[in-house]
Structures are given as structure tokens and as C-alpha cells.
Chains A and B, each alone.
Chain A
Amino acid sequence: MNTEALKELLYKIADDQLILGHRNSEWTGFGPLLEEDIAFSSMAQDKVGQSWQFYKILNELGESDPDTVAFMRNADQFHNCQFVELPNGEYDFSLIRHFLFDTAELIRFTMLADSTYEPISQLAKKIRGEVKYHTMHANIWIKQLGSATPESIQRLQDSLNQAMPYALGIFEPSPFEDDLISSGTFVGEKALESEWKKQIKEIIDQTELDLPDMDSLTPAFGGRSGNHTEHLQPLLDEMSEVFRVDPTADW
């Protein structure tokens, strides 16, 4: 197996989980209702925990330890898609992102459960349940607010339109796409994207929302190779504040 290809795959997954985990944690204390405050905080911890597990596999492949990798890189060294670094905005945007991203993540982990690379397939199987709940949570909320009142429907529709080019950026192809597919490590972003389109349509069709015409949109690519929006660096500065003051700080 091509180690560079493997690392690229692991970094983008780990960075997605870490950055969205941090964004989710920003809802702590601000949730629109107590249950959502708890839900977003809990999903934040899940995602950060998942990123840690992926960084540990990277560590075994020769990368620095998880804390250093998470806290000491600058924005241009991160491989997350731009979608996850966007500010939370209002709850409607966070909810739409949660729905679009986590649907893709559940499919990704389901596909990776069959990976020929044992450490990934084992981990994917272990965290599938967590991500499955995240999508269950997202789907129920989208179905509820996507058909509730004119305001809730309009807000979700606006956020969906705004989010979609970034959501398509999740599937930015890797330079190692062919290696990953031929080695059976991962079935590839194209296969993931087409399954994702099918699944989000199934949910959106149960609401008053309209899916934007995805073929006419330009996906927000660049994140996987370190090109980010202006929103990522301030997030990293805040996330690594304690670590940079005292790298030995411990629980």
C-alpha cells in the first residue's frame, strides 16, 4: 500500500472530524434549546475523539503524536474541507451542515469498514454507531423543521443553498484516488458522492425543501490541499491556545 496515499486519506478524515468537532463545541451554552445544546456538545466530543483515533493511526505511520498534529499546525497544513471550517452561523446553517456532512461521513465509514487496510476498517466499524446516531439526529430535525413553519422552511432553504457548494467540496478527489481504489483501501470520493446524493435526496424529499441543482454548482475545492477560507486560522488559534501556553498541560 502506498503510504502517502494512506496518510492523505487519514489526514483529511481526522482534520474534518477535529474541525467540525470544534465548531460543534461552540454551541455549548448557546443551543436554541437544552436538548440541542447537549446534542451538539456530545457530538462535538464524539468527533474530536474520532479525530484522535485517526491521528493515532497516523502516529503509527510515522507522523507526530496526536496533540502535536492537532495543535501545532497552521491552517495551510490542514486537509479538512472548507465546509467544516465555516462559522456556525445561526442554528439553521449548523443544522444543514450537520445533516449534509454527517450523511457523507456515515457513508464513508460504512465504506471504510470494508477497507483492506485493517486499522482503518476496525476503527470505522467501531465508530459507525456514533455517526449513525448523528445522522439520525440530523434527519429527524431536518424532517421536522423542513416542514414546520414558513420561517423554518425558508431559513433551512437559504442555508441549504448557501451550504451546497461547500458540501460538494467534501468530495474533492485525492491525488491518490486510483491507488486507494485499486488497493481496496477506499472506494473513492466519486462513489461516496453518488451515494450521498441519493441519501440526502431521500430526506429532503420528505420536507418542503428543494435540493439545489448540484450539477450547476462549482464545488468549493481546495481544503484538501491546504487552501482554506479566512475562518480556519482563528479557529486553530483558539483551539490551540492552552496547548501553546503550556504543552505539558494535562487533565
Chain B
Amino acid sequence: MSMTLKSLDPRVDRLGIPEEWASPMAPKESLDQFETYEAFVQMKENKPFEHVGPVHAPNEEMAFLFAKEQYSRRGMFCHALCVIKTENIQTTGFTDNNISIYDSIESMPSGDESESFEVFHLLKRGKQHKYVGNVNAKDFEDALAVAKQNYPSEKPVFNVWVARSEHILTSDDEDRDIWETLKEKQYREAIDYRAQDKIKAFKERTSEA
């Protein structure tokens, strides 16, 4: 008879897993990861969408789900969420030392407004890209020229992201309630675990001994 796997977690013991299953996982082929999507969160109605991070997912809807789990907090912390496939975001180069990336864009808007693009600015190195607005242009480069004209910034813009509007999956307005939650949820918050009294009592007990 084979032995079962012993774990510090009693739930694992109860599963009665044969010990020989504890062998290391078979090596995986490289490049078996899903493609990446970038997630953006709008914390409040009048605040811009901000980049929060990437997720790996097999499609846009799954990316939305994973982004919701990983990057959005309920209560007062999320109003809307959107995801864009990373490869669909066109990025400019980076600048530094108070030089704006727009200084290197010299072309003028073409006047062809056949496609809709969304524009994100990086105003501080190490911070997130923030949504600035929508432009109509003929391609990515043209979108940058229009953005330069439409969104002049007092502060230097170090990097710009541009994505076609059709490539963005945004939460529906009517689904905003998925971020609502019951107020009485202290049991979910670590802050409700007040250990100070117990530590104090323990210290008093041990110092007396």
C-alpha cells in the first residue's frame, strides 16, 4: 500500500494524495503563456482612467475578469474598468529632463478624421499613464499630431500611449453596481483584527511570571 502525502494543511491530508504524486511537475514548453492585456481603472466618475497593470488572458472578456479580480477594489475604489490588448497600444519613445515627447512630433494633423483613438499621457516617471482624451485621425502617427494640438500640457509629457477606440473593452455603465458592496464587512478587513489588547495582556502575564 502506498503512503499518502503529508502536508501542514490538514485539507491536503484529507485528500489522500498518493506520495508518489509529489514528483516535480513535468517541464513546460516555453511560450505557453496567454497574451497580455493592459488594465485601466477609473476610481471616481470625474477622474481619468489610470493604467494599473497587465494581465495574461486568452481573450478580452477573460482579461476583463482577471483585471477586475486583480486590480479593482470595491466600495469607493472603482467606478469603471477597461482593458486593451498590449499589442494594440502604440507607444512613443521616452523622454526625460523636462523634455516633452511631443517636442519630437513635428507633423501637423492630416485633417483625415476617419478613425477614433484614445490617448494616455505619462506625466511623471514611475507613475501611471492617465487617460487624456479621444482624437479622430487617420492613423497612430496622425493621432499623435492631433493629440499634441488638442491636449497641450504645462508639464512635460514623457511618454504617450495611443489605442484605437474599437480595441478597448470598457465596463458598461449599467454594471457599475458590481463594485458595490455591503458596508458591514469588518470581517473582511485586517484592520478589524485588534491584537493590541491581547498582546498587552500576554506581555503582562509573562512579565509577572
Residues in chain A within 8 A of chain B (CB atoms): 26, 29-30, 35, 38-39, 42, 45-46, 49-50, 52-53, 126-130, 132-133, 136-137, 140-141, 143-144, 148, 251
Whether the Cβ atoms of A251 and B187 lie closer than 8 Å is yes
Q: Which of B11, B180, B187, B192 has the most CB of A within 10 A?
A: B180
Interface status of B206 (Cβ within 8 A of chain A): no
Is B115 engaged at the interface, CB distance under 8 Å to the other chain? Answer: no
| CA of A143 to CA of B61, assembled, Å | 10
B34 to chain A, nearest CB (A): 10
* Bound Cα distance from A127 to B185, whole angstroms: 12
**Docked pose: A144 CA to B61 CA in angstroms:** 9
> Contact between B182 and A49 (Cβ–Cβ < 8 Å)?
yes
Given A42-B69, A251-B192, does the pair A127, B175 have CB atoms closer than 8 Å?
Answer: no
Distance of A19 Cα from B58 Cα, bound (Å): 32
On B, residues with C-beta under 8 Å from A are: 9, 11, 55, 58-59, 61-62, 64-66, 68-70, 175, 177-182, 184-188, 192-194
Q: Give the nearest-CB partner of A48 in chain B.
A: B187
A136: chain B residues within 8 A (beta carbon): 65, 175, 178
Q: Is the CB of A35 within 8 A of B182?
A: no
Contact B178 A133 (CB under 8 A): yes
Q: Which residue of B lies closest to A130 (CB)?
A: B181
Q: A45-B188, A144-B59 are in contact. Are A132 and B69 (CB under 8 A)?
A: no
A132 close to B177 (CB less than 8 A) = yes
Contact of B182 among A29, A126, A148 (CB under 8 A): A126
Could you say which residues of chain A place their CB within 8 Å of the CB of B66? 35
Contacts of B184 in A (CB 8 A): 49, 52-53
Q: Can you report 23 A-B residue pairs in the complex whose CB atoms are below 8 A from each other?
A: A29-B9, A35-B65, A35-B66, A35-B70, A38-B70, A45-B187, A45-B188, A49-B187, A52-B184, A126-B182, A127-B182, A128-B177, A129-B178, A129-B179, A129-B180, A129-B181, A130-B181, A130-B182, A132-B175, A136-B178, A140-B65, A143-B61, A251-B194
